[in-house]
Amino acid sequence: MDLKGKVAVVTGGASGIGLAAARAFLDKGSKVVIGDYNEEGGKEAEKELSGYGDVSFVKVDVSSEQEVKNLIAEAVDRYGRLDVMFNNAGIGIQGMTHELSYEDYKKVININQDGVFFGSKHAIPEMRKAGGGAIINTASILGSVGEPTAFAYNASKGAVNLMTKSVALQYAEDKIRVNAVAPGYVESGMVSREALGEYYDNLVGKHPIGRLGEPEEIAHAVIFLAENEFTTGITLLVDGGYTAQ
Ligand SMILES: NC(=O)C1=CN([C@@H]2O[C@H](COP(=O)(O)OP(=O)(O)OC[C@H]3O[C@@H](n4cnc5c(N)ncnc54)[C@H](O)[C@@H]3O)[C@@H](O)[C@H]2O)C=CC1
Ligand SMILES: CC(=O)C(C)=O
């Protein structure tokens, strides 16, 4: 798919992987709507990226179906169509399972998993009208590899992998392709030396390539998944060799 002139919605676009992806879509000539629940960060991103193309910010909590529906309606109102939906917003809450509250468990599932459901559900009718499109979901290496203390996160990202395949199969004949990207650990709002202290070096050691990923490296894969018209139903690992071990 030629992304020039196309319309892409990027959730979690105020920071990290989403911000890099928004920039990458603008570089391809797409119009971009950033959805994020961080209003200040979203407005900053809109300002920062406005030099690269047509971009606007909409405040959204992806765990609310109504808000995701509004986000997509707003994008279509502004730009007339929807071609790419990048369901990327996500959070992690650490904790051993026997200590994890049901509230925290539900919060992770609501954002990381339900957010993908809502983003897909409400993007599909618009993509059908546009004659096709690409849905891309952010999964994780932790969708296929267990991590102690990441019970809810593991569950949500494992679900994203299979939701991706299910939706891909359902809408292939509508020319809607559905793929996921599964990053290894990537420098971002979630992962930084400041936030992780000594554990940061431990994480570096788990990536054979000898460093953590950069958000732009994940954005590059997202663009591939948006453009490549023979790719659907996959989870593309971009993980510095983490899962090869
Ligand atoms: N950084 C990493 O090492 C990895 C991250 N991921 C996934 O990548 C995605 C992006 O995360 P990063 O860029 O790393 O982190 P980040 O923290 O820099 O960005 C996440 C963005 O999502 C937004 N967000 C969170 N909850 C939201 C909600 N309910 N509604 C709307 N926006 C919300 C945040 O405000 C933030 O702007 C997430 O799905 C995360 O699980 C996956 C693998 C590795
Ligand atoms: C840190 C993180 O969010 C991963 C690896 O999914």
173, part of any domain: yes
- Residue 190 Cβ < 6 Å to ligand 1: yes
What mean pLDDT is predicted for residues 168-174?
98
Average pLDDT, the chain: 97
pLDDT band at 189 (very low <50, low <70, confident <90, very high): confident
CATH number at residue 53: 3.40.50.720
243, part of any domain: no
Quick: pLDDT tens for 91-135. Answer: 999 989 999 999 999 999 999 999 999 999 999 999 999 999 999
Phi, psi of 53 (to 5 degrees): 160, -165
175: left (phi over 0), alpha (psi -120 to 50) or beta: left
245, part of any domain: no
d(CA 96, CA 143): 17
In the numeric block, which tokens belong to residue 216?
């732009």
- Helix or strand (DSSP H, E) at 86: strand 84-87
In the numeric block, which tokens belong to residue 59?
């405040």
d(CA 7, CA 3): 8
1, part of any domain: no
Q: Answer whether 85's CB lies under 8 Å from 9's CB.
A: yes
45, part of any domain: yes
Give how many domains the chain has, as a whole number: 1
β-strand partners of 36: 59
The string of DSSP codes covering 94-145 is -B-GGG--HHHHHHHIIIIIIHHHHHHHHHHHHHHHHT-EEEEEE--GGGTS
Quick: pLDDT tens for 35-82. Answer: 999 999 999 999 999 999 999 999 999 999 999 999 999 999 999 999
The string of DSSP codes covering 150-187 is BHHHHHHHHHHHHHHHHHHHHHGGGTEEEEEEEE-SBS
The ipTM (two decimal places) reads 0.98
Compute the half-sphere exposure of residue 9: CA atoms within 13 Å on the CB side of its CA.
37
In the numeric block, which tokens belong to residue 86?
């990048």
- What's the pLDDT score for residue 49? 98
Residue of 37, 153, 171, 242 marked active site: 153
32, part of any domain: yes
d(CA 160, CA 193): 27
The answer to whether residue 242 is catalytic is no
Closest atom of ligand 2 to 90 CA is 3
Atom 6, ligand 2: which residue's CA is nearest?
A: 140
2, part of any domain: no
Please report, rounded to a whole number, the percentage of residues in the chain having pLDDT higher than 70. Answer: 100
Compute the half-sphere exposure of residue 93: CA atoms within 13 Å on the CB side of its CA.
18
Q: Decide the pairing of beta strands 7-11 and 84-87.
A: parallel
pLDDT band at 190 (very low <50, low <70, confident <90, very high): confident
- What's the pLDDT score for residue 195? 87
- Residue 152 Cβ < 6 Å to ligand 2: no
Q: Answer whether 182's CB lies under 8 Å from 137's CB.
A: no
Pocket probe for ligand 1: among 63, 186, 211, 237, the residue whose CB has the most ligand atoms within 8 Å is 186
- Residue 16 Cβ < 6 Å to ligand 1: yes
Structural domain of residue 40, as residue ranges? 7-238
- Residue 182 Cβ < 6 Å to ligand 2: no
Length of the chain: 245
Pocket probe for ligand 1: among 9, 10, 11, 15, the residue whose CB has the most ligand atoms within 8 Å is 15
How far from 157 is each of 21, 86, 114, 138, 147, CA to CA, in Å? Answer: 19, 15, 11, 8, 12
